[in-house]
Amino acid sequence: MGYRGKLAERQQARLLRGTGLPLAEIAARLGVSKSSVSLWVRDVEFESLPRVTRGRRREPNALQRRRQAEIDRLLAEGRARMGRLSEREFLVAGVALYAGEGSKGDGSVVFANSDPRMVVFFCSWLRYFFQIDESRLRVRLYLHQGLDLAGAIAFWSQLTGIPGSQFSKPYRAVPDPSIRHAKHVHGCVGVRYSCSTTHRSIMGLVGALLSDAANPG
């Protein structure tokens, strides 16, 4: 199915490249070719990780190596168990995602998240199962002051396929260092599609899913 198209791997590759990881390591982690990674991340800005010379590089200790080995093993197991989603599985996964993260108020479909993978999944799901007028899609960006607004808009526009001209006025939060130190460099976005029929259709699916979940079998 076209919606898959290694979207998850592509977004993970872009995120990893942004941290400065080399192409070869990204390809090894994701189980894809280095040429694919090179294509996916060619426009991602990053700072190379510093190289420690003269034998001063600090190697991972035994605990860190065991932890990473377990993460890699469970990731591989997860991919094997998940496999390729059928159309019905894709539908149900999207409904469950919206049940947890989507707006329930009548009138508009709204999904907000800071995880690019979830936002990409939602946009792919929405376009696949519903007739969408692309011109009615809107994005609201929530970004801390001091972070790159133009860069964040370009980042989310590319991921969602929604032009920057359809982004509404962003909300620039004032960071409070006494509460949190880490900030999402690209912020959080809310994708909105104003269509009561589409929203009611999705909520019908949510209701059916939650009703069935109470009586599995």
Same domain for 109 and 92:
yes
Helix, coil or strand: residue 157: helix
Task: Give every CB contact of residue 64 below 8 A, 6+ residues apart in sequence.
Answer: none
- Tens of pLDDT, residues 111-132: 999 898 899 999 999 999 999 9
Which CATH number characterizes residue 145's domain?
3.30.1330
CA dist., res. 125 & res. 8, Å (int): 13
> Are 112 and 178 contained in the same domain?
yes
Does residue 33 have a pLDDT over 90? no
Clarify whether residues 141 and 158 are in a common domain: yes
Same domain, 30 and 17: yes
Q: Do 72 and 92 share a domain, yes or no?
A: no
pLDDT at residue 2 in the model = 40
Average of per-residue pLDDT values in the chain:
82
Domain presence at residue 2 = no
* pLDDT tops 50 at residue 197: yes
Q: Where is the domain boundary, 21, 49, 82?
A: 82
**Model-level pTM?**
0.67
Pair (11, 73) in one structural domain = yes
Structurally, how many domains does the chain consist of?
2
Q: What percent of the chain has pLDDT over 90?
A: 41
Same domain, 34 and 18: yes
Reported as a pLDDT band with limits 50, 70 and 90, residue 153 is very high
Residues 101 and 171 in one domain: yes
pLDDT tens-digit profile of 132-150?
999 999 999 998 888 889 9
68 with 120, same domain: the answer is no
For 78, the domain range is 7-82
H-only helix segments in 57-195: 62-82, 87-101, 116-129, 149-160
Residue 197 and residue 102 share a domain: yes
| Residue bearing the bigger pLDDT, 23 or 97 | 97
Query: What's the pLDDT tens digit per position in 43-81?
Result: 776 655 555 444 556 777 788 888 888 888 888 888 788
Residues 120 and 202 in one domain: yes
From 82, 105, 136, the end of a domain falls on 82
Is there a domain that residue 1 lies in? no
145, 172 contact by CB (below 8 A): yes
